[in-house]
Amino acid sequence: MKRRSIHIHGLVWLTILLAALLSIIPMPDVLAPFRPAWIPLTVIFWQVAQPSHYGLFFAWVAGLLMDALYGTVFGQCAMGMLFMAIAVNQLHRCLKMHPWWQQSFVVLVVVGLYQLIVSWIGSATGRLDPSLNYLLPSVTSALVWPVLTALFHRLHKRIIVI
């Protein structure tokens, strides 16, 4: 198969765009609470893969994109992404060293932190009823993590990044 050349920033924003599309695809009401947190997962991946290029500002911009996408209070998702990025920034070396099942556990906790902050801000502003359903995306995100990282690594190998 022919390899194509692309700039790393283009690849990263392409994956963010794909994650945004997966985040807004309609799902049946029964399955909607189980939707993985696609954009936070993508941000976590790029923070671990390229920590010197994608850090707190990148996560904050991705969070603002999520605020615009979901129509939430401006800064709600951005604040959650920022706290999530701080945690990932501290743990990125550990995430690289550990096997996929331990990485999935860390992803469960970090995405759970993101979901907690977004849920807390949503309930504080009166736009969201507090319940434990906000934790369901963190569970499915942890289950999807190994597949997503394998897919992104494969994409990274097929495309020459400059």
pLDDT of residue 4: 56
Sequence spans of domains, the chain: 4-161
pLDDT digits (tens, 9 = 90+) for 64-81: 999 999 998 999 999 999
pLDDT of residue 82: 96
pLDDT of residue 97: 87
Assign a CATH topology to domain 4-161: Arp2/3 complex 21 kDa subunit ARPC3 (1.10.1760)
Class of residue 99 by CB neighbours under 10 A (exposed 0-12, middle 13-18, buried 19+): exposed
pLDDT of residue 53: 87
Question: Taking a C-beta distance cutoff of 8 angstroms, is the pair 139, 145 a contact?
Answer: no
pLDDT of residue 8: 78
Mean pLDDT by 10 residues, the chain (162 residues): 65 92 93 94 93 92 94 93 95 85 94 93 80 87 95 78 58
pLDDT of residue 106: 94
pLDDT of residue 1: 47
Q: Which residues contact 41 (CB under 8 A, 6 or more apart)?
A: 19, 107, 111, 141, 144, 145, 148
